[in-house]
Structure 1
Amino acid sequence: MIDRDNDRKQISWDLETTGFAWNAKITVSGFWFPSENGTVELVLNTSDTEIDVDQYETHLENISGATVTVTPADGEAALLEVLQRVVFDRFDREYNRLTAFHGDSWKGGFDLPFLRTRCIDHGIDWVFDNVMYCDVWDPVKKRLNTTAKYWGTHDDVNSLDAAHDILFGDDVPPVLAEAAPDHQWYANREYDPFASSRSASYCYERGELLPVAQHNLADLHRTWELAELVRAYIPNTDITEKKL
Protein backbone atom coordinates (compact mmCIF):
# COMPACT_ATOMS: atom_id res chain seq x y z
CA MET A 1 0.00 0.00 0.00
CA ILE A 2 1.10 3.58 -0.56
CA ASP A 3 2.26 5.56 2.44
CA ARG A 4 1.48 9.24 1.82
CA ASP A 5 3.64 10.34 4.75
CA ASN A 6 6.80 8.67 3.42
CA ASP A 7 6.11 8.28 -0.25
CA ARG A 8 7.98 7.74 -3.48
CA LYS A 9 8.17 10.24 -6.33
CA GLN A 10 5.84 9.18 -9.11
CA ILE A 11 7.04 8.90 -12.70
CA SER A 12 4.42 8.39 -15.40
CA TRP A 13 5.03 6.19 -18.42
CA ASP A 14 3.16 5.55 -21.64
CA LEU A 15 3.73 4.09 -25.08
CA GLU A 16 2.08 4.29 -28.50
CA THR A 17 1.95 1.43 -30.99
CA THR A 18 1.02 0.69 -34.58
CA GLY A 19 -1.78 -1.61 -33.36
CA PHE A 20 -2.87 -4.10 -30.71
CA ALA A 21 -1.55 -7.38 -32.15
CA TRP A 22 1.51 -9.04 -30.60
CA ASN A 23 3.68 -8.13 -33.60
CA ALA A 24 2.68 -4.46 -33.79
CA LYS A 25 5.50 -2.00 -33.16
CA ILE A 26 6.14 0.66 -30.52
CA THR A 27 6.18 4.07 -32.18
CA VAL A 28 7.08 6.22 -29.16
CA SER A 29 7.49 5.73 -25.44
CA GLY A 30 8.14 8.32 -22.78
CA PHE A 31 8.48 9.23 -19.12
CA TRP A 32 7.25 12.22 -17.15
CA PHE A 33 9.55 12.94 -14.22
CA PRO A 34 8.33 15.24 -11.43
CA SER A 35 9.96 18.68 -11.30
CA GLU A 36 8.67 22.27 -11.21
CA ASN A 37 6.92 21.88 -14.57
CA GLY A 38 7.91 18.32 -15.45
CA THR A 39 10.94 16.77 -17.09
CA VAL A 40 10.17 14.47 -20.01
CA GLU A 41 12.15 11.80 -21.82
CA LEU A 42 10.62 10.74 -25.16
CA VAL A 43 12.10 7.90 -27.22
CA LEU A 44 10.82 8.03 -30.80
CA ASN A 45 10.99 5.13 -33.25
CA THR A 46 12.07 7.09 -36.30
CA SER A 47 12.96 4.05 -38.44
CA ASP A 48 13.91 5.58 -41.82
CA THR A 49 12.52 9.05 -41.08
CA GLU A 50 14.89 11.98 -40.50
CA ILE A 51 13.82 14.38 -37.74
CA ASP A 52 15.11 17.71 -36.45
CA VAL A 53 15.54 16.91 -32.74
CA ASP A 54 16.01 20.57 -31.72
CA GLN A 55 12.81 21.57 -33.53
CA TYR A 56 10.87 18.72 -31.92
CA GLU A 57 12.11 19.57 -28.42
CA THR A 58 11.44 23.30 -28.80
CA HIS A 59 7.89 22.70 -30.03
CA LEU A 60 7.07 20.18 -27.29
CA GLU A 61 8.51 22.39 -24.56
CA ASN A 62 6.55 25.41 -25.79
CA ILE A 63 3.19 23.63 -25.71
CA SER A 64 3.67 21.72 -22.45
CA GLY A 65 5.87 23.93 -20.30
CA ALA A 66 8.00 20.88 -19.46
CA THR A 67 11.67 20.29 -20.20
CA VAL A 68 11.66 17.74 -23.02
CA THR A 69 14.41 15.48 -24.35
CA VAL A 70 13.68 13.60 -27.59
CA THR A 71 15.88 10.62 -28.45
CA PRO A 72 15.47 9.16 -31.95
CA ALA A 73 15.79 5.37 -32.21
CA ASP A 74 16.38 3.55 -35.49
CA GLY A 75 13.83 0.79 -35.02
CA GLU A 76 11.99 -0.82 -32.15
CA ALA A 77 14.94 -2.78 -30.74
CA ALA A 78 16.96 0.43 -30.48
CA LEU A 79 13.98 2.11 -28.77
CA LEU A 80 13.83 -0.63 -26.14
CA GLU A 81 17.55 -0.31 -25.48
CA VAL A 82 17.18 3.45 -24.95
CA LEU A 83 14.32 2.82 -22.51
CA GLN A 84 16.63 0.51 -20.57
CA ARG A 85 19.24 3.24 -20.35
CA VAL A 86 16.71 5.81 -19.14
CA VAL A 87 15.53 3.45 -16.41
CA PHE A 88 19.13 2.69 -15.40
CA ASP A 89 20.21 6.35 -15.41
CA ARG A 90 17.11 8.09 -14.06
CA PHE A 91 15.24 5.65 -11.78
CA ASP A 92 15.99 5.23 -8.10
CA ARG A 93 14.32 1.95 -7.20
CA GLU A 94 14.17 2.94 -3.53
CA TYR A 95 12.47 6.31 -4.06
CA ASN A 96 10.67 6.24 -7.43
CA ARG A 97 7.39 4.62 -8.52
CA LEU A 98 6.33 4.03 -12.11
CA THR A 99 2.69 4.87 -12.89
CA ALA A 100 0.58 4.21 -15.99
CA PHE A 101 -3.10 4.24 -16.94
CA HIS A 102 -4.32 0.67 -17.56
CA GLY A 103 -0.74 -0.38 -18.15
CA ASP A 104 -0.93 -3.56 -16.07
CA SER A 105 -3.98 -4.28 -13.90
CA TRP A 106 -5.59 -7.41 -12.47
CA LYS A 107 -7.55 -7.73 -15.72
CA GLY A 108 -4.41 -7.50 -17.80
CA GLY A 109 -4.02 -3.94 -19.06
CA PHE A 110 -2.23 -3.23 -22.34
CA ASP A 111 1.06 -1.33 -22.20
CA LEU A 112 3.14 -3.58 -19.96
CA PRO A 113 1.99 -6.91 -21.48
CA PHE A 114 2.70 -5.44 -24.92
CA LEU A 115 6.14 -4.23 -23.81
CA ARG A 116 7.01 -7.63 -22.34
CA THR A 117 6.19 -9.36 -25.62
CA ARG A 118 8.24 -6.89 -27.65
CA CYS A 119 11.23 -7.36 -25.32
CA ILE A 120 10.93 -11.15 -25.70
CA ASP A 121 10.63 -10.85 -29.49
CA HIS A 122 13.85 -8.81 -29.69
CA GLY A 123 15.72 -10.84 -27.04
CA ILE A 124 16.11 -7.75 -24.84
CA ASP A 125 16.16 -7.93 -21.03
CA TRP A 126 13.05 -6.71 -19.22
CA VAL A 127 13.09 -2.92 -19.25
CA PHE A 128 11.44 -2.38 -15.84
CA ASP A 129 13.22 -5.06 -13.85
CA ASN A 130 12.49 -4.61 -10.13
CA VAL A 131 10.84 -1.20 -10.62
CA MET A 132 7.96 -0.37 -8.24
CA TYR A 133 4.69 0.14 -10.11
CA CYS A 134 1.20 1.49 -9.43
CA ASP A 135 -1.61 1.45 -12.00
CA VAL A 136 -3.85 4.53 -12.03
CA TRP A 137 -6.74 2.91 -13.89
CA ASP A 138 -7.96 0.69 -11.02
CA PRO A 139 -8.34 3.38 -8.33
CA VAL A 140 -9.80 5.90 -10.80
CA LYS A 141 -12.43 3.42 -12.02
CA LYS A 142 -13.27 1.88 -8.62
CA ARG A 143 -12.82 4.74 -6.15
CA LEU A 144 -13.77 7.85 -8.16
CA ASN A 145 -17.03 8.44 -10.03
CA THR A 146 -16.34 8.80 -13.74
CA THR A 147 -19.84 7.87 -14.92
CA ALA A 148 -21.26 10.17 -17.59
CA LYS A 149 -24.97 10.55 -18.30
CA TYR A 150 -26.11 11.16 -21.85
CA TRP A 151 -29.83 11.27 -22.77
CA GLY A 152 -30.90 8.99 -19.96
CA THR A 153 -28.07 6.47 -20.36
CA HIS A 154 -25.07 6.04 -18.11
CA ASP A 155 -21.61 5.15 -19.37
CA ASP A 156 -18.48 4.45 -17.38
CA VAL A 157 -15.70 6.60 -18.80
CA ASN A 158 -12.60 4.43 -18.74
CA SER A 159 -10.22 6.19 -21.14
CA LEU A 160 -7.35 8.32 -19.93
CA ASP A 161 -8.41 11.56 -21.62
CA ALA A 162 -12.11 11.21 -20.71
CA ALA A 163 -11.39 10.39 -17.05
CA HIS A 164 -8.97 13.32 -16.86
CA ASP A 165 -11.52 15.69 -18.42
CA ILE A 166 -14.17 14.69 -15.87
CA LEU A 167 -11.95 14.86 -12.80
CA PHE A 168 -10.05 18.03 -13.71
CA GLY A 169 -12.67 19.88 -15.76
CA ASP A 170 -11.61 23.44 -16.49
CA ASP A 171 -9.75 23.90 -13.22
CA VAL A 172 -7.05 22.09 -11.31
CA PRO A 173 -8.30 20.55 -8.03
CA PRO A 174 -7.36 23.01 -5.26
CA VAL A 175 -5.33 20.46 -3.30
CA LEU A 176 -3.05 19.98 -6.32
CA ALA A 177 -2.95 23.67 -7.24
CA GLU A 178 -1.83 24.49 -3.70
CA ALA A 179 0.81 21.77 -3.71
CA ALA A 180 2.31 22.95 -7.01
CA PRO A 181 1.09 26.50 -7.73
CA ASP A 182 3.59 27.16 -10.51
CA HIS A 183 3.07 23.88 -12.36
CA GLN A 184 1.55 24.18 -15.84
CA TRP A 185 -1.24 21.66 -15.34
CA TYR A 186 -2.57 19.90 -18.41
CA ALA A 187 -6.17 20.82 -17.54
CA ASN A 188 -5.33 24.45 -18.21
CA ARG A 189 -3.08 23.81 -21.22
CA GLU A 190 -4.61 21.19 -23.55
CA TYR A 191 -2.42 20.26 -26.50
CA ASP A 192 -3.23 16.70 -27.60
CA PRO A 193 -3.57 16.69 -31.43
CA PHE A 194 -5.58 13.44 -31.53
CA ALA A 195 -8.86 12.17 -30.14
CA SER A 196 -7.55 8.59 -30.07
CA SER A 197 -4.37 6.54 -30.21
CA ARG A 198 -5.62 5.00 -33.45
CA SER A 199 -5.38 8.44 -35.08
CA ALA A 200 -1.79 8.67 -33.85
CA SER A 201 -1.03 5.31 -35.47
CA TYR A 202 -2.39 6.48 -38.84
CA CYS A 203 -0.29 9.64 -38.58
CA TYR A 204 2.84 7.62 -37.79
CA GLU A 205 2.31 5.38 -40.82
CA ARG A 206 2.32 8.52 -42.99
CA GLY A 207 5.71 9.52 -41.56
CA GLU A 208 4.32 12.43 -39.51
CA LEU A 209 6.15 11.81 -36.23
CA LEU A 210 5.93 15.12 -34.37
CA PRO A 211 2.15 14.88 -33.68
CA VAL A 212 2.67 11.31 -32.44
CA ALA A 213 5.34 12.49 -29.99
CA GLN A 214 3.01 15.32 -28.92
CA HIS A 215 0.19 12.84 -28.27
CA ASN A 216 2.46 10.69 -26.11
CA LEU A 217 3.59 13.76 -24.18
CA ALA A 218 -0.03 14.74 -23.51
CA ASP A 219 -0.85 11.24 -22.24
CA LEU A 220 2.20 11.28 -19.97
CA HIS A 221 1.13 14.64 -18.54
CA ARG A 222 -2.43 13.46 -17.91
CA THR A 223 -1.26 10.20 -16.35
CA TRP A 224 1.05 11.98 -13.92
CA GLU A 225 -1.71 14.41 -12.88
CA LEU A 226 -4.22 11.59 -12.33
CA ALA A 227 -1.63 9.72 -10.26
CA GLU A 228 -1.17 12.78 -8.06
CA LEU A 229 -4.96 13.14 -7.74
CA VAL A 230 -5.23 9.49 -6.68
CA ARG A 231 -2.49 10.03 -4.12
CA ALA A 232 -4.31 13.05 -2.66
CA TYR A 233 -7.87 11.70 -2.50
CA ILE A 234 -7.89 7.92 -2.25
CA PRO A 235 -7.04 6.02 0.96
CA ASN A 236 -3.73 4.19 1.10
CA THR A 237 -5.51 0.87 1.59
CA ASP A 238 -7.27 1.21 -1.77
CA ILE A 239 -4.08 1.85 -3.77
CA THR A 240 -1.80 -1.08 -4.49
CA GLU A 241 1.72 -1.25 -5.87
CA LYS A 242 3.99 -4.06 -6.95
CA LYS A 243 7.47 -4.72 -8.27
CA LEU A 244 7.63 -5.41 -11.99
Structure 2
Amino acid sequence: MTELDTVAFDIETTGFDVDDQLTVVGFDTDVGSRIFLNTNGRTPPSNLEARVNEELASSVSLSVQQTERALLCEMSAFVESTLANRDAKLVAYNGERWNGGFDLPFLRTRLCYHEIDWPFTGLPYIDAMDVFETRFNTSGDTLTAVYEELIGSGLTELDPFADSKEAVEAWETEDFESLVRHNVADIRRTRSLMRLAERYCSKSHFTMRSLDPVA
Protein backbone atom coordinates (compact mmCIF):
# COMPACT_ATOMS: atom_id res chain seq x y z
CA MET A 1 0.00 0.00 0.00
CA THR A 2 2.80 2.45 0.85
CA GLU A 3 4.18 2.00 -2.67
CA LEU A 4 1.11 3.89 -3.90
CA ASP A 5 1.47 7.67 -3.85
CA THR A 6 -1.03 9.39 -1.58
CA VAL A 7 -3.32 11.93 -3.22
CA ALA A 8 -5.24 13.77 -0.51
CA PHE A 9 -8.67 15.08 -1.44
CA ASP A 10 -11.15 17.56 0.08
CA ILE A 11 -14.07 19.72 -1.03
CA GLU A 12 -15.79 22.90 0.09
CA THR A 13 -19.48 23.49 -0.55
CA THR A 14 -22.26 26.03 -0.06
CA GLY A 15 -23.96 23.70 2.42
CA PHE A 16 -25.17 20.16 2.97
CA ASP A 17 -28.48 20.07 1.09
CA VAL A 18 -29.08 18.24 -2.18
CA ASP A 19 -29.25 21.51 -4.14
CA ASP A 20 -26.08 23.01 -2.67
CA GLN A 21 -23.01 23.18 -4.87
CA LEU A 22 -19.26 22.77 -4.85
CA THR A 23 -17.13 25.85 -4.31
CA VAL A 24 -13.66 24.24 -4.12
CA VAL A 25 -12.14 20.86 -4.90
CA GLY A 26 -8.55 20.29 -3.81
CA PHE A 27 -5.90 17.59 -4.29
CA ASP A 28 -2.51 17.37 -2.60
CA THR A 29 0.37 15.26 -3.94
CA ASP A 30 4.09 15.02 -3.32
CA VAL A 31 4.71 17.76 -5.89
CA GLY A 32 2.18 20.28 -4.61
CA SER A 33 -1.50 21.16 -4.38
CA ARG A 34 -3.99 21.50 -7.23
CA ILE A 35 -7.06 23.57 -6.41
CA PHE A 36 -10.23 24.10 -8.47
CA LEU A 37 -12.31 27.15 -7.51
CA ASN A 38 -15.88 27.93 -8.57
CA THR A 39 -16.51 31.70 -8.34
CA ASN A 40 -20.14 31.56 -9.54
CA GLY A 41 -19.51 34.19 -12.21
CA ARG A 42 -17.57 36.54 -9.98
CA THR A 43 -14.03 37.71 -10.70
CA PRO A 44 -11.33 36.87 -8.16
CA PRO A 45 -8.18 39.00 -7.76
CA SER A 46 -5.87 38.52 -10.73
CA ASN A 47 -2.97 37.66 -8.40
CA LEU A 48 -4.94 35.19 -6.26
CA GLU A 49 -2.67 32.21 -6.97
CA ALA A 50 0.45 34.25 -6.20
CA ARG A 51 -1.05 35.52 -2.94
CA VAL A 52 -1.98 32.02 -1.82
CA ASN A 53 1.51 30.71 -2.61
CA GLU A 54 3.08 33.61 -0.74
CA GLU A 55 0.97 32.96 2.36
CA LEU A 56 1.55 29.20 2.35
CA ALA A 57 5.15 29.35 1.11
CA SER A 58 4.52 26.30 -1.05
CA SER A 59 3.46 25.06 -4.47
CA VAL A 60 -0.24 25.65 -5.14
CA SER A 61 -1.67 25.53 -8.66
CA LEU A 62 -5.06 27.25 -8.86
CA SER A 63 -7.64 26.75 -11.60
CA VAL A 64 -10.55 29.22 -11.55
CA GLN A 65 -13.94 28.46 -13.12
CA GLN A 66 -17.06 30.56 -13.34
CA THR A 67 -19.55 27.74 -12.70
CA GLU A 68 -19.80 24.49 -10.80
CA ARG A 69 -20.17 22.56 -14.04
CA ALA A 70 -16.95 24.06 -15.41
CA LEU A 71 -15.18 23.18 -12.15
CA LEU A 72 -16.33 19.56 -12.40
CA CYS A 73 -15.24 19.30 -16.03
CA GLU A 74 -11.78 20.69 -15.26
CA MET A 75 -11.44 18.51 -12.18
CA SER A 76 -12.43 15.40 -14.16
CA ALA A 77 -9.92 16.20 -16.89
CA PHE A 78 -7.17 16.58 -14.28
CA VAL A 79 -8.03 13.29 -12.56
CA GLU A 80 -8.25 11.33 -15.81
CA SER A 81 -5.12 12.79 -17.41
CA THR A 82 -2.88 13.04 -14.36
CA LEU A 83 -3.98 10.94 -11.40
CA ALA A 84 -5.42 7.91 -13.18
CA ASN A 85 -2.07 7.27 -14.86
CA ARG A 86 -0.11 7.20 -11.59
CA ASP A 87 0.39 4.46 -9.02
CA ALA A 88 -1.70 6.43 -6.55
CA LYS A 89 -4.44 6.10 -3.98
CA LEU A 90 -7.07 8.74 -3.18
CA VAL A 91 -7.28 9.58 0.54
CA ALA A 92 -9.81 11.73 2.39
CA TYR A 93 -10.85 12.32 5.98
CA ASN A 94 -14.52 11.34 6.37
CA GLY A 95 -14.76 11.44 2.58
CA GLU A 96 -16.62 8.14 2.35
CA ARG A 97 -16.97 5.42 4.98
CA TRP A 98 -19.02 2.26 5.32
CA ASN A 99 -21.69 4.21 7.21
CA GLY A 100 -21.54 7.57 5.45
CA GLY A 101 -18.99 10.28 4.85
CA PHE A 102 -19.33 13.57 3.03
CA ASP A 103 -17.01 14.41 0.15
CA LEU A 104 -17.56 11.55 -2.29
CA PRO A 105 -21.35 11.26 -1.77
CA PHE A 106 -21.70 15.02 -2.31
CA LEU A 107 -19.49 14.87 -5.39
CA ARG A 108 -21.50 11.98 -6.86
CA THR A 109 -24.69 13.98 -6.50
CA ARG A 110 -23.26 17.04 -8.24
CA LEU A 111 -21.71 15.00 -11.08
CA CYS A 112 -25.06 13.27 -11.56
CA TYR A 113 -26.86 16.64 -11.60
CA HIS A 114 -24.61 17.89 -14.40
CA GLU A 115 -24.56 14.49 -16.19
CA ILE A 116 -20.77 14.24 -15.97
CA ASP A 117 -19.17 10.80 -15.77
CA TRP A 118 -17.49 9.54 -12.62
CA PRO A 119 -13.78 10.41 -13.03
CA PHE A 120 -12.11 8.24 -10.36
CA THR A 121 -12.10 4.92 -12.21
CA GLY A 122 -8.88 3.03 -11.51
CA LEU A 123 -8.06 4.88 -8.27
CA PRO A 124 -8.23 2.95 -4.98
CA TYR A 125 -9.56 4.88 -1.99
CA ILE A 126 -8.77 4.95 1.75
CA ASP A 127 -10.60 6.97 4.39
CA ALA A 128 -8.06 8.14 6.96
CA MET A 129 -10.72 8.79 9.60
CA ASP A 130 -11.32 5.05 10.01
CA VAL A 131 -7.67 4.46 10.91
CA PHE A 132 -7.44 7.25 13.47
CA GLU A 133 -10.70 6.31 15.15
CA THR A 134 -9.63 2.70 15.68
CA ARG A 135 -5.81 2.62 15.81
CA PHE A 136 -4.84 5.81 17.67
CA ASN A 137 -5.83 7.22 21.06
CA THR A 138 -7.05 10.77 20.39
CA SER A 139 -9.58 12.96 22.16
CA GLY A 140 -10.72 14.82 19.04
CA ASP A 141 -12.61 13.44 16.06
CA THR A 142 -12.22 16.20 13.49
CA LEU A 143 -9.43 16.45 10.95
CA THR A 144 -7.99 19.57 12.60
CA ALA A 145 -8.20 18.21 16.15
CA VAL A 146 -6.54 14.90 15.29
CA TYR A 147 -3.82 16.65 13.28
CA GLU A 148 -3.03 19.04 16.14
CA GLU A 149 -2.89 16.25 18.72
CA LEU A 150 -0.63 13.96 16.74
CA ILE A 151 1.45 16.29 14.55
CA GLY A 152 1.16 19.89 15.74
CA SER A 153 -0.30 23.24 14.79
CA GLY A 154 1.86 24.17 11.81
CA LEU A 155 -0.89 24.01 9.19
CA THR A 156 -3.50 25.29 11.62
CA GLU A 157 -1.55 28.51 11.93
CA LEU A 158 -1.86 28.95 8.15
CA ASP A 159 -5.60 28.17 8.11
CA PRO A 160 -7.70 31.37 8.35
CA PHE A 161 -10.73 29.47 9.69
CA ALA A 162 -11.34 27.99 13.11
CA ASP A 163 -14.26 25.99 11.71
CA SER A 164 -15.00 24.69 8.22
CA LYS A 165 -18.43 26.37 8.36
CA GLU A 166 -16.63 29.67 7.82
CA ALA A 167 -15.82 28.49 4.29
CA VAL A 168 -19.46 29.04 3.28
CA GLU A 169 -19.44 32.69 4.38
CA ALA A 170 -16.05 33.28 2.75
CA TRP A 171 -17.39 32.10 -0.62
CA GLU A 172 -20.52 34.23 -0.27
CA THR A 173 -18.47 37.34 0.55
CA GLU A 174 -15.90 36.63 -2.20
CA ASP A 175 -13.07 36.03 0.25
CA PHE A 176 -11.62 33.51 -2.18
CA GLU A 177 -8.09 33.73 -0.80
CA SER A 178 -9.13 32.55 2.67
CA LEU A 179 -11.33 29.85 1.16
CA VAL A 180 -8.48 28.43 -0.93
CA ARG A 181 -6.00 28.62 1.94
CA HIS A 182 -8.41 26.67 4.13
CA ASN A 183 -8.82 23.94 1.53
CA VAL A 184 -5.05 23.65 1.06
CA ALA A 185 -4.58 23.36 4.82
CA ASP A 186 -7.15 20.55 4.97
CA ILE A 187 -5.72 18.48 2.13
CA ARG A 188 -2.23 18.84 3.56
CA ARG A 189 -3.46 17.82 7.01
CA THR A 190 -5.04 14.75 5.43
CA ARG A 191 -1.90 13.79 3.54
CA SER A 192 0.31 14.31 6.60
CA LEU A 193 -1.95 12.15 8.75
CA MET A 194 -1.95 9.39 6.15
CA ARG A 195 1.86 9.39 6.10
CA LEU A 196 1.83 9.18 9.90
CA ALA A 197 -0.62 6.27 9.88
CA GLU A 198 1.52 4.37 7.39
CA ARG A 199 4.47 4.70 9.75
CA TYR A 200 2.66 3.14 12.70
CA CYS A 201 -0.06 0.88 11.29
CA SER A 202 0.03 -2.39 9.37
CA LYS A 203 -1.58 -2.87 5.99
CA SER A 204 -4.38 -4.84 7.64
CA HIS A 205 -5.43 -1.74 9.59
CA PHE A 206 -6.41 0.08 6.39
CA THR A 207 -9.53 -0.52 4.35
CA MET A 208 -8.85 0.10 0.68
CA ARG A 209 -11.87 0.37 -1.60
CA SER A 210 -12.23 0.46 -5.35
CA LEU A 211 -13.80 3.60 -6.81
CA ASP A 212 -14.63 1.89 -10.11
CA PRO A 213 -18.33 2.15 -11.02
CA VAL A 214 -20.24 -1.06 -11.84
CA ALA A 215 -21.33 0.11 -15.30
Matched, 1:164 2:147: yes
Q: Give the residue type in structure 2 aligned to 1:162.
A: A
The change in CA–CA distance for 1:106 and 1:93 in structure 2 (over 3 A counts) is farther
1:236 corresponds to 2:203: yes
CA distance in 1 between counterparts of 2:78 and 2:113 reads 21
Q: What residue in structure 2 maps to residue 40 of structure 1? A: 33
Q: What SS does structure 1 have at the residue aligned with 2:51?
A: helix
- After TM superposition, the structure 1 stretch with the greater mean CA deviation from structure 2, 64-73 or 40-49, is 64-73
Unaligned runs of 5+ in 1: 148-156, 171-186
Alignment deviations for residues 205-243 of structure 1 (CA, whole Å, 9 cap, x no partner): 112211111110110110110111111111111112111
Cα distance in 1 for residues equivalent to 2:156 and 2:24: 22
Question: How far is 1:204 from its partner?
Answer: 0.8
Query: What code does the residue aligned with 1:17 have?
Result: T
1:222 paired with 2:189, answer: yes
Say if 1:42 and 1:188 are closer, same or farther in 2 by CA, change over 3 A: closer
For the residue of structure 1 that corresponds to 2:158, the secondary structure is coil
Summarize deviations over 1:170-189 as a string: whole Å, max 9, x none.
6xxxxxxxxxxxxxxxx367
Question: Which of 95, 107, 127 is residue 103 of structure 1 equivalent to?
Answer: 95
In structure 1, what is the equivalent of residue 81 of structure 2? 89
Alignment check: 8 A CA contact 2:84 2:120 kept: no
Counterpart residue number, 2:166? 199
- Give the percent of matched residue pairs that are identical in Structure 1 and Structure 2: 33
Larger Rg computed on CA atoms? 1
Let me know the Cα RMSD of the aligned residues.
Answer: 1.5
Per-residue displacement from partner, 1:117-163 (whole Å, max 9, x unpaired)?
1111111101212311111000011101112xxxxxxxxx1111011
Count of residues in Structure 1 that have an aligned counterpart in Structure 2 = 211
Structure 2 residue 4 is the aligned partner of structure 1 residue 12: no
- TM-score, length of structure 2 as denominator length: 0.93
Is the Cα–Cα contact under 8 Å of residues 56 and 181 in structure 2 kept in the other structure? no
Give the drift of 1:62.
Answer: 2.0
Matches within 5 A, 1:67-146: 67-93=59-85, 95-146=87-138
- Residues 100 and 136, structure 1, Cα contact 8 Å, conserved in 2: yes
